[in-house]
Amino acid sequence: MSRHSAVNEVLSRLKIETPSWAYGNSGTRFKVFGQPGVPRDPYEKVADAAQVNKFTGATPSVALHIPWDKVEDYAKLAAHAKELGVVLGTINSNTFQDDDYKLGSVCNPDERIRAKAVSHLLECIDIMDITGSRDLKLWFADGTNYPGQDSIRERQERLSESLKKTYAKIGENQRLLLEYKFFEPSFYTTDVPDWGTSLMHCLELGPKAWVVVDTGHHAPGTNIEFIVANLLRVNKLGAFDFNSRFYADDDLIVGAADPFQLFRIMHEVNVGGGFDEGTPISFVLDQCHNIEAKIPGQIRSIMNVQEAVAKAVLVDQSALRSAQQNGDVLGAHEVLMDAYNTDVRPLIREWRESIGINPEPMKAYASSGYAEKIAAERVGGNQAGWGA
């Protein structure tokens, strides 16, 4: 098979979930910026997600965040999604926007508050049972700000106990995904700060627990592809949360800050079989569009990922392997650079035409009239947003 044919096959298999919260208003710690046409409820969020799928051909599912996307009838919401050509995907929990969680949720020293947090996680699994979702994604803001504030060791014990209670309810065909973040909002210690801590807990839990790598959740200079390669090696990489950052968790459009880094990461995913048929890896966007338009922001991110993936698949693995075994340092690097410097946009445009969608998603959406339509229709009510 030619490498161009391989690119087409991988692009056809590559499915990237978009997050419901990316369609709502967001901002910095100082201000949430409103935009015209922003969804007012989960049904309108799903409708916007369906538009991204329509113009990219790559986003057939939308992740929900509870309670941001809480509805009375989840079966009805799932049916609404199906009518629009998408499905409900990952269920994300929220244990960071409640006054009780000031000192933590599942790691809180107060047993009552820990029980409250676990109860919410179990509720999320109930929702998964209704929507048919496979994955429960957990990210905890738990941590401390000052030395001596709490016992680091005991907080890990509380975390382990809470995770075990949650894992016990995970169904046979469901997964628990544990995300890590090295700081923020806690500044002295974070209870799940790195891939090692996440992996340690996942290994303790069992085969249905997987590590999530968020590309924005690392200190500057972190070799993320090294982390990815190792998690793939032990078959514990469950999901990617795609975004980009210059300094911390900036939540920018994926590939915006360092497209070469995104390529390097996707190269390791490809080498490790992450794009193969039946891959366990879930690819999800996780970003907030503070100043850019919501739907085009998602479309741009999907295009950036597709370009990085296409370049990764174009790497001449035979030549790379030969150069590596012969100790040809510059030759091996040149193989990667040749693939990275390839303009894959014409190839991707051809692939889009082959599946019956417009080869220029951004232009196609801009001329569709959808943005003007929702701006005119979505008047009144409360716009969705994370309320910072």
In a domain? residue 379: no
Alpha-carbon distance values, 160 to 82, 126, 155, 224, 385 (Å): 37, 21, 9, 25, 31
Cβ-proximal residues to 289 (8 Å cutoff; 6+ apart), any chain: 22, 26, 253, 297, 298
In a domain? residue 327: no
Q: Are the beta carbons of 263 and 311 closer than 8 angstroms?
A: yes
Distance CA 132, CA 88 (A): 8
In a domain? residue 322: no
Q: Are the beta carbons of 352 and 358 closer than 8 angstroms?
A: yes
Strand partners, 385: 25
Distance CA 164, CA 119 (A): 13
Whole domain around residue 118: which residue ranges? 3-314
In a domain? residue 338: no
Residue 62 has a pLDDT of 98
Q: Angle at which helices 3-13 and 294-314 pack, to 10 degrees?
A: 140
* DSSP one-letter code for 25: B
In a domain? residue 16: yes
Residue 387 has a pLDDT of 52
Report which secondary-structure segment, H or E, holds 206.
none
In a domain? residue 53: yes
pLDDT tens, N- to C-terminus, the chain (388 residues): 687 899 999 999 999 999 999 999 988 778 888 999 999 999 999 999 999 999 999 999 999 999 999 999 999 999 999 999 999 999 999 999 999 999 999 999 999 999 999 999 999 999 999 999 999 999 999 999 999 999 999 999 999 999 999 999 999 999 999 999 999 999 999 999 999 999 999 999 999 999 999 999 999 999 999 999 999 999 999 999 999 999 988 899 999 999 999 999 999 999 999 999 999 999 999 998 889 999 999 999 999 999 999 999 999 999 999 999 999 999 999 999 999 999 999 999 999 999 999 999 999 999 999 999 999 999 999 898 865 4
Relative to beta strand 26-27, strand 143-144 is unpaired
Instruction: Record the tokens describing residue 173, joined without a space.
Output: 């065909």
Report which secondary-structure segment, H or E, holds 318.
helix 317-325
* Helix (H/G/I), strand (E/B), else coil: 193: coil
* Helix (H/G/I), strand (E/B), else coil: 216: coil
Residue 388 has a pLDDT of 42
* b/e per residue 188-220 (b: at least 16 CB within 10 A): ebbbbbbbebbbbbbeebeebbbbbbbbbbbee
| Contacts made by residues 119-123, CB under 8 angstroms, sequence distance 24+ | 120/66, 120/93, 120/94, 120/95, 121/93, 121/95, 121/162, 121/166, 122/165, 122/166, 122/169, 123/66
In a domain? residue 371: no
CATH number of the domain that residue 33 is part of: 3.20.20.150
Residue 29 has a pLDDT of 75
Strand partners, 62: 18, 88
Q: Are the beta carbons of 283 and 16 closer than 8 angstroms?
A: yes
CA–chain centroid gap for 321, Å, is 31
Report which secondary-structure segment, H or E, holds 230.
helix 224-233
Instruction: Record the tokens describing residue 362, joined without a space.
Output: 């951004």
Number of domains in the chain: 1
Specify the pTM.
0.96
In a domain? residue 230: yes
